[in-house]
Amino acid sequence: MNIFKLVNVIDKKMTPFAVEPNLCTRIISPKGSCNSCVDYCPTNSISFMKNKIEMNDQCVECGLCTTVCPTSAISLQRPSLNQLVTDIIQKCVQNERVYLHCKRKPISDSEISSISVPCLGMIPREVWVSISRMCDNLAVYHPDESCRHCEVSQGEEVWKKELDAGEAMSGKTFLITAGIQKSKQQPQYDHKRRSFFTTLFSEIKSTNKIAVREALGGSEIQSYREKLQEDPLSKVKKEWSAVSNRIVEKVTNESAFPYMNKRSLILKEIQKSVSLQNRYDYRLPTILPDCNFCGACTTLCPTNALLFEEKDGCTAITLQPHKCVDCHLCEDICFFQNILIQDQPNIQLLSNKIVLAEKPCPLSQ
């Protein structure tokens, strides 16, 4: 890796968030109605500037924007959600009791095993579901009225909404406590020292992930304009991007696409749980019979969940459910209002492909 790429890796690693404007529905289309990140930012630090998402110096790094953004145009990279789940489960396996808490309400006792996050509101429902099976000994440390006077004004609203949804999906209730109870077991090691090495390992892993991406190149999210380009050079770039993304996923054991961070977690849980499969927690698009196959929805879909397919004179619009994140951009931009986002059983997310609309094939000559 040359010095310029190394500097770029360090620069990206210094920021807690990864920003991908090509996933933002507001930037993709003026008809995009999502404004969640701006609405929930406690310091009004987020704005849209031409083709960019700007985050100013007033940002307190609470992470609420990453929870409420449907497409993960803004996502956490320190730690990633996958790493957070791994760390929580690992601590729960190793300790009698583990406390999850906001960093603004620290736990100073070194004999208490705890995990600190910037704000409890940065934990989406997919994480709560993912840790529910393995973490019966996890408690949420939340002193009375601790959120009321916090600068992250909407943090309590977001974390309780996500916690409630996660508990409903998993059928598990997490203990919320204002007190700390010491373990009855004699501590076998220094929790602070173990936490230091766990954090160090996580930092090295996340840095390596950025370094692999930077070394390979070509793994950036394409804009809809780039998707439409069909010249030879564009085709080569698309092919290399696909190859580099597969390498990144193989090396890091995480998806190369930010919007799959939350989705990958819940897909694993749906595969394991019949009760979760039968719930209606997610929405997917349906297309009415009057569709005129203009292709706008498939072109502008930020996650490539919707595809326009032509083969042997036949035309179809298909859906890859696992990629659909309910950003409802397709519903917003459909000129003829032929797309509806509707509740679907969770098991639908496990389908490889669903045909939403088909144009009758011309009769063979």
Which domains does the chain show, CATH number per domain?
Answer: 81-182 (no CATH), 280-359 (3.30.70.3270)
For the stretch 46-56, pLDDT in tens is 999 888 999 99
What pLDDT does 361 receive? 81
Residues of the chain above pLDDT 70, percent: 78
- Give pLDDT, residue 145: 81
- 2-6, 78-82, 356-360: which has the highest mean pLDDT? 356-360
In this predicted model, what pLDDT tens digit does every residue of 287-342 receive, in sequence order?
Answer: 999 999 999 999 999 999 999 998 888 899 999 999 999 999 999 999 999 999 99
344 vs 188, which has greater pLDDT? 344
Q: How far apart are CA 102 and CA 109, in angstroms?
A: 15
**pLDDT grade for 217, boundaries at 50, 70 and 90:** low
Query: Taking 90 as the threshold, does the pLDDT of residue 263 lie above it?
Result: yes
Nearest residue to 275 via CA among 132, 77, 92, 70: 132
Residue 210: predicted pLDDT: 57
- β-sheet bridge partners, residue 117: 102
Does 1 score more than 70 pLDDT? no
Distances (CA, A) of 309 to 126, 278, 288, 293, 349: 31, 30, 17, 10, 20
Structure-block tokens of residue 125 = 């429902």
Distance CA 97, CA 171 (A): 21
Residue type, 351: S
- The more confident residue out of 299 and 237 is 299
Full-model pTM: 0.84
**Residues 40-49: what's their mean pLDDT?**
94
Which helix H or strand E contains 141, and what residues bound it? strand 138-141
For the cut 90, the answer to whether the pLDDT of residue 223 exceeds it is no
Task: With a cut of 80, say whether residue 271 has pLDDT above it.
Answer: yes
The pLDDT assigned to 247 comes to 65
**pLDDT at res. 149:** 85
For the residues 211-235, what does the mean pLDDT come to?
66
Mean pLDDT check: name the lowest of 225-229, 263-267, 287-291, 339-343. Answer: 225-229
Q: CA-CA distance, 241 to 236, in Å (whole number)?
A: 8
pLDDT tens for each residue of 140-175: 999 988 888 899 989 999 999 999 999 999 999 999
Least confident of 40-44, 65-69, 226-230: 226-230
Can you give the pLDDT at residue 219?
52
CA-CA distance, 286 to 292, in Å (whole number)? 14
Residues 6 or more apart in contact with residue 41 via CB below 8 angstroms: 59, 64, 65
Tokens describing residue 306 = 């919707």
pLDDT value of residue 237: 66
Determine whether 325 is exposed, middle or buried from the number of CB atoms within 10 Å of its CB (0-12, 13-18, 19+): buried
Q: Whole-number mean pLDDT of the chain?
A: 84
Tracing tokens 């960093």 back to the chain, one arrives at 103
Parallel, antiparallel, or unpaired: how do β-strands 113-117 and 98-102 relate? parallel
pLDDT given at position 6: 46
Q: What is the pLDDT of residue 3?
A: 57
User: ∠ CA 313-316-321 to the nearest 5 degrees?
Assistant: 150
Mean pLDDT of 96-100: 94
Question: How does DSSP assign 36-93, residue by residue?
Answer: HHHHH-TT--EEEETTEEEE-TT-----HHHHH-TT-SEEE-SS-HHHHHHHHHHHHH
Cβ atoms of 152 and 64 within 8 Å: the answer is yes
Cα 118 to Cα 66, 71, 81, 122, 345: the distances in Å are: 12, 21, 13, 7, 33
Contact 85, 130 (CB under 8 A): yes
How many whole angstroms separate alpha carbon 362 and alpha carbon 186?
Answer: 76
The position carrying tokens 């390992």 is 201
> What residues are paired with 342 via a beta bridge?
284
